[in-house]
Amino acid sequence: MEAFDPNLCRTERDVESKLLVHYLLPQLGYGVDSWYEEVALGSIRLDFLVLATSLLAGRLAPPAAVVMEAKRPQSNLDPHVPKLRRYLTALGIRYGLLTNAWEIRVYETQSPQAIAEVFRCGGQHLHTHLEDLRQLIGKSSPNLGLPIPVVPSPRRIPMKTIAVYHNKGGVGKTTTVTNLGAALARQGFRVLLIDLDSQANTTFATGLMKFADEEDDILANNNVYHAIAEKFQFQIAEVARRASYCAAPVDVMPAHINLIQQERILQDKSFAKTRLLEKLNKAKDSYDFVIIDCPPSLNLYAQVALTMTDYLIIPSDLKPFANEGLRNVRNFIDENDEFRGVIQRPPISVLGVLPSKIMTNAKFVENTLPRVEEKVRSKYGFPMLESRIFDRVDLGKCLNVENNEGEVPVPDPQSIFDFAPDSAAAKEFGALAAEILQKVGAMP
Ligand SMILES: Nc1ncnc2c1ncn2[C@@H]1O[C@H](COP(=O)(O)OP(=O)(O)OP(=O)(O)O)[C@@H](O)[C@H]1O
Ligand SMILES: [Mg+2]
């Protein structure tokens, strides 16, 4: 078979015609009557919809079809994966091909919410992979019509609250909150995230800040501050919004930059530290897990979090400075436990210190890391979690996804499971979720 030469493609149109129409589709057994270009299905517009069975054959549930999306030659394909996921999962189609001529990838829908990469090759080597591709998505492949696995069945447990805290900034608190939340939601748990940090990073990372202009700021007058400040209004259900960063449902109580000034209003109010806890108790049948993002500080909002939470995770990059900070964390926990005693709450249950943003250097992991972990146990008296979150570029990239469908690009951040489901980071957060479920006694 003649090799395909990606150098022939200069534009996205070339990728469509030279790679897909003239090379790949015929090789996969699809005649001109079996594919459609620029197909609009509701709000979705597909570059190519390829049908393995004739529409007239009436065998379209599940549709034996492949979605094919062509991008500019050599453009980065990663930011297009979330959109492909939306297409596949919304249409209930099992396979999607994504290409920029230099790279050909195939994704498979593996649950009603998730897709995973199942094939990848370079454009110049495509001819040597045609048989693999035919078996996967060729016209006579039996895979195409296979049903998509069913949704995980809902899991219901008594509500558990987990705060993620360290007074040092930038150690991965927000990254832990959003991705642990996504991991639990994907397993069928009902998840609420509470953003108590005026930086509002969880609010952004979960897709609640999609406005460019201050005028469009719909969060300023209805956020976590109002839930604390107002007794009768702003119950949990009125403040929480459904997030868009994750295909599985996650609700978020947003924070806002105004929380900084508003802290003064709350400062000497007797209700400030307990009101959210009271409201959460009223909503306890609506959620299985509540995960709280804390500010890197000892401020009132951090005290609110440590008053209301059952459990605590302490992410740490395990660098010397963060370790010294653990002494402050210990003191802060003790102070809050004293207040909890007054309001008849048991002491905070520390699940452990979570190694976070850890260097992947093999020597460090083998020699230094275990020693540092041991020191955290012996010197600061904290348990260590067994899971480790390493320094992974994907965790930064999934925050920078944009949606370019409208006139101006809009931020469209994704969870690591939605952005790069097969990545090392997704596996690490999956393992963390499993460990947390086991530690809080929520394993089936
Ligand atoms: N494991 C990781 N690998 C690579 N980058 C990471 C990792 N965890 C977090 N980051 C990046 O580091 C930065 C800080 O992370 P994050 O916002 O989660 O920390 P934080 O503790 O919540 O910070 P703050 O105290 O300011 O709220 C972000 O840009 C984030 O994308
Ligand atoms: Mg943060």
Task: Please state the φ and ψ torsions of residue 98, each to the nearest 5 degrees.
Answer: -130, 130
Ligand minimally distant from the alpha carbon of residue 354: 1
Q: How far apart are CA 174 and CA 306, in angstroms?
A: 16
Q: Which residue's C-alpha comes closest to atom 9 of ligand 1? A: 172
Q: In terms of DSSP H, where are the helices of 230-383?
A: 236-239, 259-266, 275-282, 300-308, 320-342, 362-363, 369-380
| Amino acid code (one letter) for 409 | P
Q: How far is the CA of 174 from the centre of ligand 1 (A)?
A: 6
The reply to whether ligand 1 has any atom less than 6 angstroms from the CB of 197 is: yes
Ligand minimally distant from the alpha carbon of residue 168: 1
Q: How far apart are CA 266 and CA 378, in angstroms?
A: 38
Q: How far is the CA of 245 from the centre of ligand 2 (A)?
A: 16
The reply to whether ligand 1 has any atom less than 6 angstroms from the CB of 167 is: no
The reply to whether ligand 1 has any atom less than 6 angstroms from the CB of 296 is: yes
The partner residues of 355 in beta bridges, in order of sequence, read: 316
Return the pLDDT at 361.
Answer: 94
How far, CA to CA in Å, does 429 sit from each of 140, 167, 190, 361, 374? 37, 22, 17, 19, 22
Q: How far apart are CA 413 and CA 245, in angstroms?
A: 6
Task: Tell me the per-residue pLDDT of 130-150, one tens digit each, with 9 for 90 and over.
Answer: 999 999 999 988 888 777 766
Ligand minimally distant from the alpha carbon of residue 176: 1
The reply to whether ligand 1 has any atom less than 6 angstroms from the CB of 325 is: no
Q: How far apart are CA 19 and CA 22, in angstroms?
A: 6
Q: How far is the CA of 93 from the centre of ligand 1 (A)?
A: 35
List all residues 6 or more positions away from 209 whose beta carbon is below 8 Å from its beta carbon: 200, 203, 219, 254, 411
Q: Which residue's C-alpha comes closest to atom 17 of ligand 1? A: 174
Q: How far is the CA of 195 from the centre of ligand 2 (A)?
A: 9
The partner residues of 103 in beta bridges, in order of sequence, read: 122
Could you give the domains of the chain?
A: 6-137 (3.90.1570.30), 160-439 (3.40.50.300)
Q: How far is the CA of 177 from the centre of ligand 2 (A)?
A: 9
> 432: closest CA among 372, 353, 371?
353
Q: In terms of DSSP H, where are the helices of 267-368?
A: 275-282, 300-308, 320-342, 362-363
Q: Which residue's C-alpha comes closest to atom 14 of ligand 1? A: 170
Q: Using the atom order of ligand 1, give the atom closest to the CA of residue 396.
A: 31
Q: Using the atom order of ligand 1, give the atom closest to the CA of residue 428.
A: 1
Return the pLDDT at 257.
Answer: 96
Pocket test of ligand 1: the residue of 326, 394, 395, 400 to mutate, having most ligand atoms within 8 Å of its CB, is 395
Q: How far apart are CA 263 and CA 299, in angstroms?
A: 9
pTM given for the model = 0.78
Tokens for 60?
């379209």
The one-digit pLDDT tens for each residue of the chain (444 residues) are: 789 999 999 999 999 999 999 999 999 999 998 999 999 887 789 999 998 864 444 444 456 889 999 999 999 999 999 999 989 988 888 999 999 999 999 999 988 778 899 999 999 999 999 999 999 999 988 888 777 766 666 788 999 999 999 999 999 999 999 999 999 999 889 999 999 999 999 999 999 998 777 778 889 999 999 999 999 999 999 999 999 999 889 999 999 999 999 999 999 899 999 999 999 999 999 999 999 999 999 999 999 999 999 999 999 999 877 778 899 999 999 999 999 999 999 999 999 999 999 999 999 999 999 999 999 999 999 999 999 999 999 999 999 998 877 778 889 999 999 999 889 999 999 999 999 999 999 876
